[in-house]
Amino acid sequence: MNRGGGVVQAGGHSPLDGQFEVKGTDAALDGLMDLETLYRGVEQNLNQSRRARRQAQEGDYNIEVMLGVDNSVEEFHGHEHVQMYLLTLMNIVNEIYHDDSLGAQINVVLVRIIVLDPEKSAQLIVKGNPSSSLQNVCRWAFLQQKSSTDDTEYHDHAIFLTRQEFGPTGMQGYAPVTGMCHPVRSCTLNHEDGFSSAFVVAHETGHV
């Protein structure tokens, strides 16, 4: 089933009205598209967001994603801009999975975004300890899961972004191996560092 979902942010922020599926273009991958054009593409997706649910085409695989973001990412990009940045980033991740070399049409469908407050962010990330950080993030994501698969915010996989150093210098991502179907292990921890992070997210999700 192909579902879209509203954006939810922790700390009392208003959810985005409507539902959406994140889509992208090839130009997003090679850097030829400027940010303004990327933003327009995301806005077009949001304008189409109130469509009815539809079945995925035969041969399509949808990964319904909850995106967790800690306070360090919001602080860096700014409260007013972080949502659009995250939508554009996931737009690029989705397009990476549309590459013909994969031999399948894989759609990354964003159903929920949660931005954590500083206190919770500090609890999850253990600086210099990727294993403990990933374990904390996966446990947190599991607790956010909706009880019913019919819920529009039910997710198959959780992606977590932080600008904190959770591992050795240069570590960009950390993920369990073959955990997509496990309720607690279907998650990835990613160091956010601009739009190039989309390739890190896609790579780490591929491990799961």
Strands 157-162 and 173-174: unpaired
Query: Which is more confident, 11 or 169?
Result: 169
H and E: helices and strands count for the chain:
7, 5
- Name the residues annotated as catalytic: 204
User: pTM surpassing 0.75?
Assistant: no
pLDDT tens digits, one per residue of 55-112: 455 568 899 999 999 999 999 999 999 999 999 999 999 999 998 888 788 899 999 9
Q: Is 115 helix (H, G, I), strand (E, B) or coil?
A: strand
Show Cβ contacts of residue 36 under 8 Å, excluding neighbours closer than 6 positions: none
